[in-house]
Structure 1
Amino acid sequence: MNRMDALLDLLSKIHQILVYNSRYHGNIAFEEDPQMNRQQVKDYLGISESTDKRMVKQGRLRPMKLPGGDKFYKSELPSEYQESRRRGRV
């Protein structure tokens, strides 16, 4: 019965993660939320390489570290986009 309890615990944790993500992304489906690489984010925000690195270091941009390079979800960038518009970058 120990393996069954471990499996149920794992399934419960997966369910909690999925529920959290659906709340976090709101009405955006996972497939509709595009992933952007580091260069696309810099172009989208109108920032330089050094600004990008500084924002990641400060925690303002949170990339997903993947083997093919860092990826960002576009839905996680609206506050930084608003700041870029305020500063006249885009």
Structure 2
Amino acid sequence: MNNLEALVQVMYNIYLVLNKEQLTFTFIDLFGDPNTQLTRQQVKDYLKISESTYKRKVKDGTLRPVKLPGGDRFYLKDLLAAYLESKQKGRI
């Protein structure tokens, strides 16, 4: 696990702890329903990346699609690390 994935896991664990305290915001408020499935194009739009960047991230394992007959699908919860990277690089 790289540092970014470890950080995302820690943040998610903090969210789980804080959510038990009944805070006024939720993960869904911040990032959307984590079980939402996104298509390939929706992922590219969400992360504001090109087709070549998408292919490179899938090849190096940064993005891990669920392979379905209708095309790749992603769970929103699995895109958090990529979202944070895009945010850091100023794409979002």
> Does the pair score TM above 0.5?
yes
**Which of the numbers 60, 65, 69 marks the counterpart of 2:62?**
60
Percent same amino acid among aligned pairs?
59
Q: How many residues align?
A: 63
Q: Distance in 2 between matches of 1:65 and 1:76?
A: 14
Bigger radius of gyration among the two: 1
* Runs (5+) with no aligned partner, structure 1: 1-25
1:55/1:32 Cα in 2 relative to 1: closer, same or farther (>3 Å)?
closer
Superposition TM-score, scaled by structure 1 size: 0.64
Provide runs of 4+ in structure 1 moved above 3 Å.
none
- CA RMSD, aligned part only? 2.0
1:33 Cα deviation from its structure 2 partner: 1.0
Counterparts of residues 10-29 of structure 1 (less than 5 Å): none
Superposition TM-score, scaled by structure 2 size: 0.63
Question: For residue 43 of structure 1, what is the aligned residue in structure 2?
Answer: 45
